[in-house]
Structure 1
Amino acid sequence: MSSLKNFFLFCSGADLSILAQVPSDENKYLGIGATIFFTGVLAFVSAGYALYTIFDSVALSLLFGVGWGAMIFNLDRYIVSSMKSRGGFFGKFMVALPRLAMAVLLALVISKPLELKIFEKEINAELIVMEQETFKTQEDRLSARFTGRLAETESAISGLQAEIDAKTKARDAAAAAALAEADGSGGSGVRNMGPIYRAKMAAAEQAQNELDATLAALQPQIDAQRAQANTLRSEMAEEASGLERGAYGGIAARIDALDRLGQESEAILWASLFVTLLFVAIETAPIFTKLISPASPYDHLLHEHEHVYEMATKESVNTRANDVKNRLRIHAEVGVHQTTADIAAKKAEINAELEQRKKELRPFGWSG
């Protein structure tokens, strides 16, 4: 139990040597440390699941999950331990604001993969619908590439067939007229095979000849157009069978599916929002605990401990700065004195030399 307590106190980022002097604050930092630890655990689960969704590798997802969880744990521990309970609430809030923003960002990153896991069954059902929509879109695009050419071919076949049908209809009408004239059911109404019948029969034979000529001219074109249409259909079927039918369910598709579910169902939308808010609350709980808690004995001891080092550093820096200033002043004043003395000595030397020259020039009658 003592080892577990020490571990959670370590997780809180508290100075154990200072905390040992104020046992009354242990429970506070035990709670903070446990929250930070379990946030790291949730980050491990979140990252592991996200990577497993991408790569389907247990070993890789565990390795990455441990690394990500350790990083989040270290960041949370640093964020909480770097906060100091000094000054008023608004002053502490402004100091804590960047840390809160970082905590919220981490919570959003951690919560999303876990949301996907929580709503996994609903997402899997939606993924089936999305998969069918995707395949349908692919098939529609493929069909659109061939539809125009197939329509042109079918239109050409219909035009040629209509011409043949017209000739066939004319032949049938002429033959029926000749037959009606022969049996007396039409035409002149007299049953015989006289000149009128022969004229109508000649017209029927002429219509048959025209039909035969039309068939001879157009049927090869119809057969060629039908062969082209069959070729296009075969190509379309071959490309349709080669469409991508791989697994559909990557992390981006799952996020999209969850978003669609939220748009279709308010219950899922609110549930997803509350899951996110829950992780935001967990991630920011240690920071708010430090923010709203009044300064405790631990905080006063920590401030005193840091203040000693701060003052010692300032004293050392000021002492060194003063020593440097004094040495610079000594060097400056000595330099000025030395220069003044050198100038005076040089002047005396020059004056002595001038006096000597005057003395040397007086015997020659020169006087200065």
Structure 2
Amino acid sequence: MQRLRSFFLFCSGAHLPMLKRAPVETNKYAGIGGTIFFTGLLAAISGGYALWTVFNSLWAALLFGLIWGLMIFNLDRYIVSSLKKRDRFLQEFAMALPRLVLALLIAIVISKPLELQVFNKEIQAELITMEQQVYKTQEDKVKERYQARMNELQADIARLNAAIQQQAARRDTLALIAQQEADGTGGSRRRNLGPIYKAKKADADRAAAELADITARNQQLIAAHRQQLQSIDSIMKADIQQMGRGRLNGLAARLDALGRLTDRSAPICWANWFIILLFIAIECAPVIVKLISPRGPYDDLLQQHEHAFEIHRKLRMAQREMDYERRMEQEKALAG
């Protein structure tokens, strides 16, 4: 237990020999050091998970997580140790404000990968939907390249079929007129097979012959067009099958999926914000504790030490100036 406390005191950035002279402050600084240590540990886990998501390499993730955690640990340790208590809250707050902003940025950075892990199941389901949307977009783009020619061929087929139907309707009309002339229900209203009927029957026969000619010619063109449509459809399906359908599983895709989930679901959005605020509170806790805690014996000893060092520095500078002036006077005396 004593070793753990000593380790947390080291994490707090306090000067241990001086802190031993103020034992009542050890619990406070041990708590601050523990917060700094666990913040670095969470940063290591977060950074390692983020790199594993990108490169899917365990050893690289462990190495990067260790480096990232040590960097955040060292930065937090410096931030807290550099904050001095002087019984001037506004001045101390002004000094702590940049450190709080930095702690806020660090908290947001280290919280994001852990958010991805918390909502991993929901993100995986959303990634499947995103993959389908991406594949559908790619498929539509492939179809769009061939759609103009297919529409043109289909329009030609419809036009050729319409010509056949139009000629068939004309033949049927002329055949009906000839029949009505023969049975007296139309035309001259006389039942006979005379020259009028023969003329109308000749028109109907010519229309039938034209229909047979148009049908044969158009059916040949329609068959050629349909063959082209089948060929284009085969090429289009082959292009679609050759499309790379890779999985969306990278860090950017996961962040995008999380953004979609938070936009669509209010509970997930609130949960996401609570996680971010939790990490902000953890990251800012050492600075806030140091800021709101009253001035203690350790702060007095530290100020005395700094004041003594400042006095010593000024005395040495003054002594050097006096030595310099004395030397200059001696050189002038020798020169005179």
State the TM-score, normalizing by the size of structure 2.
Answer: 0.91
Is the deviation greater in 207-216 or in 238-247?
207-216
Separation (CA, whole Å) in 2 of partners of 1:333 and 1:123: 87
Kindly indicate whether residue 315 of structure 2 is the aligned counterpart of residue 315 of structure 1.
yes
- 2:53 is matched with which residue? 53
Separation (CA, whole Å) in 2 of partners of 1:309 and 1:236: 81
What secondary structure does 2:169 align onto?
Answer: helix
Name the amino acid aligned to 2:315. Answer: E
- 1:160 is matched with which residue? 160
Name the amino acid aligned to 1:63. Answer: L
Q: CA deviation at 1:68?
A: 0.8
Separation (CA, whole Å) in 2 of partners of 1:328 and 1:164: 122
What secondary structure does 2:295 align onto?
Answer: coil
Name the amino acid aligned to 2:327. Answer: R
Q: CA deviation at 1:185?
A: 6.4
- 1:357 is matched with which residue? none
Q: CA RMSD in A?
A: 2.2
| Stretches of 4+ aligned residues off by more than 6 angstroms | none
Is the deviation greater in 81-90 or in 195-204?
195-204
Structure 2 residue ranges without an equivalent (≥5)? none
Separation (CA, whole Å) in 2 of partners of 1:230 and 1:179: 44
Separation (CA, whole Å) in 1 of partners of 2:220 and 2:332: 116
Q: CA deviation at 1:36?
A: 0.6
Is the deviation greater in 285-294 or in 201-210?
201-210
Separation (CA, whole Å) in 1 of partners of 2:332 and 2:185: 147
Q: CA deviation at 1:189?
A: 6.3
**Cα pair distance change 1:213/1:332, threshold 3 Å:** farther
Identity %: 51
**Cα pair distance change 1:17/1:193, threshold 3 Å:** same
Higher Cα radius of gyration? 1
Separation (CA, whole Å) in 1 of partners of 2:208 and 2:330: 134
State the TM-score, normalizing by the size of structure 1.
Answer: 0.84
Separation (CA, whole Å) in 2 of partners of 1:300 and 1:219: 104
Q: How does 1:61-210 map to 2 (within 5 A)?
A: 61-179=61-179, 181=181, 193-210=193-210
Number of residues of Structure 1 aligned to a counterpart in Structure 2 = 336
Is the deviation greater in 98-107 or in 185-194?
185-194
**Cα pair distance change 1:165/1:332, threshold 3 Å:** farther
Q: CA deviation at 1:247?
A: 1.0
Separation (CA, whole Å) in 2 of partners of 1:322 and 1:209: 130
Name the amino acid aligned to 1:152. Answer: E
Structure 1 residue ranges without an equivalent (≥5)? 338-368
- 1:355 is matched with which residue? none
Name the amino acid aligned to 1:31. Answer: G
- 1:255 is matched with which residue? 255
**Cα pair distance change 1:214/1:328, threshold 3 Å:** farther
- 2:11 is matched with which residue? 11
**Cα pair distance change 1:218/1:293, threshold 3 Å:** same
